[in-house]
Structure 1
Amino acid sequence: MLVNLYVWRSLPMNRQASSLKNREGFKFNLIRLKMKNNKVNQYLMHKALFIFRIKKRLGNLAIASLLIGILFPGCQDRQRVSSDYKTFIVNYHTKNTEHFETFLDMANISITHFKADDTLFLSENLQVKYTENYIFLLDKVYEQLYRFNDSGQLINKIGRSGLGPSEYVNTGFFTVDDNNRTLSILHNNGTAIMIFDYDGNFLREFSTPFIITSFDQLDSNLYFYYTGYSNSPSFKRLHMADTLKILNSFLPLQTQAFDMIEMNFTAMGDYGYFREVYFPTIYKYSYSGIHEIFKINFGHCEITQKMLEEVKDPFEFFEKIQNNGFCSTASLIAAGSKYYVVTIEQKSGFNQVSHFYIDLEDSIYTRVYSNANNLIEYDFFSQLKPVYIDSENNLHFISSQIELKTFLNARPDMKLNSSMSDNNLNPLIVKIPINKN
């Protein structure tokens, strides 16, 4: 079973706005100033600012093609998503809520350190995937892919960052094919995919059919590519392909809103789940195409497709939704009929992180949140990044070691299965059972 993660903290804010000019630059700096002390807002803005990160390499024309939709009249050849399935509705404003310390068995926390025989430094911008025997980790700041055993001990590095043959640069995301023991990593600003075996041997590389922001691979040739809101002749966001040959495209949208760059796919082997930041619908994709699984009804704070289609100025739109308030999804993991979704509700001066535990087999769900007035507890909960649901229904999160230490220092009643090192401040895995009481 494989899971995906896009970590919420990305590039430093002070690296971003220098290339903006005139009105756009002024508006961006105004928005950035309002968001300066809001971690959740920074997370969303970091994704939008992918446009500026690739400017030097791809040029203005490619950036415009990648991230800003050009409005054309009508789209008559829309591919319909299968409607043979009933979409389960999750009410964001449900009264079925639990404080995270009630929902999760916090008395039985266990941790896994990422460790190596020599020095290992990890950033907080990580993508993590589990298989039956290994934990794979891509550090997107240091641009290095690792293979660990399930105890967190480093086995080997896979490839390395650079401009030479078999080296990757400006990495995006990666997928794992456990049957063939291979990994595919998106790099060069979404224009190429490199394939390695588990031992780190380079196998091959191919150019993607267009600039993509994330992807999944169902077998040796069948891929799903996400291009975002534009960069496709059909203005569709999701594409099914036989490597380079597009077989089908889904989810049409024409907008001038900024894309949000993240890992949209939750891989499950020969199928998976797909989600987007602004859209509340979760899809299942497979060899037969895609269909809706469930939708989170955000109510008054939902961003609709109509709203995106009417965007004329992306800066004004972003500032407007900040002032009015909006909801978005941040990540998704799944196991069998169970799903765990992180959502963010935010408005100028306010943000609320919630986790939704959904069991479609029993048609039940719970909204998990922090009702603590204690800022330490809220900060700990809001930075947890779910990466895996194991066979015993335990939730695995990536956590900042500093946040975990701070939380435990405030809660002397809670004990860990192992100690945390003062010399190692790398993020770690926190395993927390779901409380069965």
Structure 2
Amino acid sequence: MHIKNQNTFLLIILILFTACSSNKDNEKASTEKDSKTIDEFISYDLVNEMETRTLTELIEHIEFSRLQETDESLISSANNYLMHRGLIVFRNGAERDICVFTESGEFVRKFNRSGEGPEEYSTVNDMWFDGDYLAIYTKGRYVKWYDLEGNFIRSKSMDLQAGHIFPYQDGYVVDASYLTLDDSLRFNFAFVDSEFKTQKVFLPSGDDMQFQVFMANSSLMPDNGKILFNRMMSDTVYSFNATEFEPFIHYDFGNEWYFKNMTSMPDNMFIDVQNSGKVWNVSSKISSEFIWLSTYGGEPGRNKYLIDRGNDKSIRVDTRKGEEYYALSPSLWENEELFGSIQSINVPELISSLGQDQYSFNEGTTLEEIKSSENPVLVKIKFKDSSEW
């Protein structure tokens, strides 16, 4: 009897072990499959059988954090902010102020080192963190580093009219659209060394264009050791990993894409594109699981898309509210939540369309304070699982 019970016990252990191993193998296979899927080139059909949901229908939970309003901290926008050691850092709209808040919206400080002096910046085209220092790129002139007190640290001059740059390995990746590199090279993307000398070039740009267009949103995005390049007036995101440069994501708008089958650029492009109502540019925030896509052109209020990269499911997001729409400005993904900002005037109407368990206010934030403030509001959005879209 004892031997039989012991054998039964061992059999149960063996079954459990086999089941656990099988589950782990399945999980491993699933993870490998998902990893393989999101690392391969894919084209998303954003036209055929495209369903539409309102923004509030897609939100599982949204957290609001007011940006504390003081005499020093009146701001117009908090777009494309950076997060660093519990702080939010951004340029104040068209101003040259660098604003620093806590992640819960408490005002820390702002500084403005604008000017033409050796320790000043004339404009802010790009910003990133280099360790604990904030690097500021001024197009075609220099990169300058500051601490978050606004103290000048160092500067590096350059002679490269790049729309955007971003550090990568021991150099920088460069949005070289519209530029001529090394007197003769015409490419859209380049990798340069720490002294801004061209090392590699990709994506030939062809003949000179008659105009230059640069967007405030950077076309260069870090992504797990790679750099993603979403160049101006392109429906394709490219991936660069120091040795390879290749198409990574394509947004297929069909005949709604303004440049489809276009062989030359019309002289009156911007008048023509406005009259056409078609999509002519895209900006995307990409995480390992999701893409938040915004288009320029197309139907206002219905020109946002949410994409689940795991199952390739995409949906059009309707941000309209009456004759206006929610002005949601995404900055970045973290832990598969979309961080950004929204105008304070939009908040009461937004939460009126949500259940009480779908929204919350960060510590120190109240709806009354948001209503009485003209500052934008920080948001952190967790979207519903795509099976619910």
Structure 2 match to 1:369: 317
User: Per the alignment, do residues 403 and 369 of structure 1 end up closer, same or farther by CA in structure 2, a change over 3 Å counting?
Assistant: same
- Give yes or no for the alignment of 1:343 onto 2:295: yes
Match of 1:113 among 54, 62, 66: 66
Structure 1 match to 2:24: none
Give CA deviations for 1:210-237 in whole Å, capped at 9, x if unaligned. Answer: 1121111124x41011132234432212
Cα RMSD for the two superposed structures: 2.9
Contact kept? 1:354, 1:367, Cα under 8 Å: no
State how far apart, in whole Å, the 1-side matches of 2:380 and 2:319 are.
21
State how far apart, in whole Å, the 1-side matches of 2:82 and 2:229 are.
16
Structure 2 match to 1:203: 153
Structure 2 match to 1:21: none
User: Per the alignment, do residues 305 and 247 of structure 1 end up closer, same or farther by CA in structure 2, a change over 3 Å counting?
Assistant: farther
The structure in which a higher percent of residues are strand is 2
User: Per the alignment, do residues 269 and 151 of structure 1 end up closer, same or farther by CA in structure 2, a change over 3 Å counting?
Assistant: farther
State how far apart, in whole Å, the 2-side matches of 1:326 and 1:139 are.
31
State how far apart, in whole Å, the 2-side matches of 1:353 and 1:321 are.
17
* Structure 2 unmatched ranges of 5 or more: 1-38
Structure 2 match to 1:249: 201
Contact kept? 2:80, 2:332, Cα under 8 Å: no
Structure 2 match to 1:191: 141
Match of 1:92 among 46, 65, 77: 46
Shift of residue 261, structure 1, vs aligned partner:
1.1
User: Per the alignment, do residues 411 and 101 of structure 1 end up closer, same or farther by CA in structure 2, a change over 3 Å counting?
Assistant: closer
Structure 2 match to 1:311: 265
State how far apart, in whole Å, the 2-side matches of 1:234 and 1:395 are.
38
User: Per the alignment, do residues 291 and 148 of structure 1 end up closer, same or farther by CA in structure 2, a change over 3 Å counting?
Assistant: farther
Structure 1 match to 2:339: 396
State the structure with more CA Rg. 2
User: Per the alignment, do residues 431 and 86 of structure 1 end up closer, same or farther by CA in structure 2, a change over 3 Å counting?
Assistant: closer
Shift of residue 137, structure 1, vs aligned partner:
0.8
Q: Which moved more, 1:292-301 or 1:156-165?
A: 156-165
User: Per the alignment, do residues 305 and 96 of structure 1 end up closer, same or farther by CA in structure 2, a change over 3 Å counting?
Assistant: closer
Give CA deviations for 1:163-186 in whole Å, capped at 9, x if unaligned. Answer: 333111122121223xx2222111
Shift of residue 373, structure 1, vs aligned partner:
7.4
Match of 2:331 among 384, 387, 400: 387
Contact kept? 1:241, 1:248, Cα under 8 Å: yes
Q: Percent identity?
A: 17
Query: What count of residue pairs does the alignment treat as equivalent?
Result: 334
State how far apart, in whole Å, the 1-side matches of 2:141 and 2:168 are.
19
Contact kept? 1:125, 1:141, Cα under 8 Å: no
Contact kept? 1:214, 1:265, Cα under 8 Å: yes
Give CA deviations for 1:318-361 in whole Å, capped at 9, x if unaligned. Answer: 22233333214442222224322222443xxx53543333333x
User: Per the alignment, do residues 398 and 257 of structure 1 end up closer, same or farther by CA in structure 2, a change over 3 Å counting?
Assistant: farther
User: Per the alignment, do residues 234 and 306 of structure 1 end up closer, same or farther by CA in structure 2, a change over 3 Å counting?
Assistant: farther
**Residue 314 of structure 2: SS of its match in structure 1?**
strand
Shift of residue 149, structure 1, vs aligned partner:
2.4
Contact kept? 2:75, 2:93, Cα under 8 Å: no
User: Per the alignment, do residues 186 and 251 of structure 1 end up closer, same or farther by CA in structure 2, a change over 3 Å counting?
Assistant: same
Shift of residue 294, structure 1, vs aligned partner:
0.9
Q: Which moved more, 1:413-422 or 1:316-325?
A: 413-422
User: Per the alignment, do residues 199 and 386 of structure 1 end up closer, same or farther by CA in structure 2, a change over 3 Å counting?
Assistant: same
State how far apart, in whole Å, the 1-side matches of 2:68 and 2:320 are.
33
User: Per the alignment, do residues 176 and 155 of structure 1 end up closer, same or farther by CA in structure 2, a change over 3 Å counting?
Assistant: same
AA of the residue aligned to 1:288: T
Give CA deviations for 1:233-255 in whole Å, capped at 9, x if unaligned. Answer: 32212211102111112222224
Give CA deviations for 1:271-300 in whole Å, capped at 9, x if unaligned. Answer: 332212410101223333432211001111
- Give yes or no for the alignment of 1:144 onto 2:97: yes
Structure 2 match to 1:218: 168
1:221-370 matches, cutoff 5 A:
221-232=170-181, 233-243=184-194, 244-253=196-205, 254-262=207-215, 263-268=218-223, 270-304=225-259, 307=262, 310-311=264-265, 313=267, 316-346=268-298, 350-360=299-309, 362-370=310-318
State how far apart, in whole Å, the 2-side matches of 1:425 and 1:389 are.
25
Give CA deviations for 1:97-138 in whole Å, capped at 9, x if unaligned. Answer: 241222223xx4321122377530212373312245332212
Give CA deviations for 1:4-57 in whole Å, capped at 9, x if unaligned. Answer: xxxxxxxxxxxxxxxxxxxxxxxxxxxxxxxxxxxxxxxxxxxxxxxxxxxxxx
Q: Which moved more, 1:202-211 or 1:268-277?
A: 268-277
Shift of residue 93, structure 1, vs aligned partner:
0.6
AA of the residue aligned to 2:316: V
Contact kept? 1:88, 1:295, Cα under 8 Å: yes
AA of the residue aligned to 1:142: E
State how far apart, in whole Å, the 2-side matches of 1:322 and 1:173 are.
28
Shift of residue 412, structure 1, vs aligned partner:
8.3
Contact kept? 1:172, 1:186, Cα under 8 Å: yes
State how far apart, in whole Å, the 2-side matches of 1:370 and 1:325 are.
17
* Structure 1 unmatched ranges of 5 or more: 1-84
- TM-score computed with the length of structure 2 as normaliser: 0.76
AA of the residue aligned to 1:322: Q
Shift of residue 385, structure 1, vs aligned partner:
1.5
- TM-score computed with the length of structure 1 as normaliser: 0.68
**Residue 388 of structure 1: SS of its match in structure 2?**
strand
User: Per the alignment, do residues 204 and 364 of structure 1 end up closer, same or farther by CA in structure 2, a change over 3 Å counting?
Assistant: same
State how far apart, in whole Å, the 2-side matches of 1:319 and 1:117 are.
42
Structure 2 match to 1:60: none
User: Per the alignment, do residues 169 and 353 of structure 1 end up closer, same or farther by CA in structure 2, a change over 3 Å counting?
Assistant: farther
**Residue 215 of structure 1: SS of its match in structure 2?**
strand
State how far apart, in whole Å, the 2-side matches of 1:412 and 1:109 are.
10
User: Per the alignment, do residues 424 and 353 of structure 1 end up closer, same or farther by CA in structure 2, a change over 3 Å counting?
Assistant: same
Structure 1 match to 2:16: none
User: Per the alignment, do residues 285 and 134 of structure 1 end up closer, same or farther by CA in structure 2, a change over 3 Å counting?
Assistant: farther
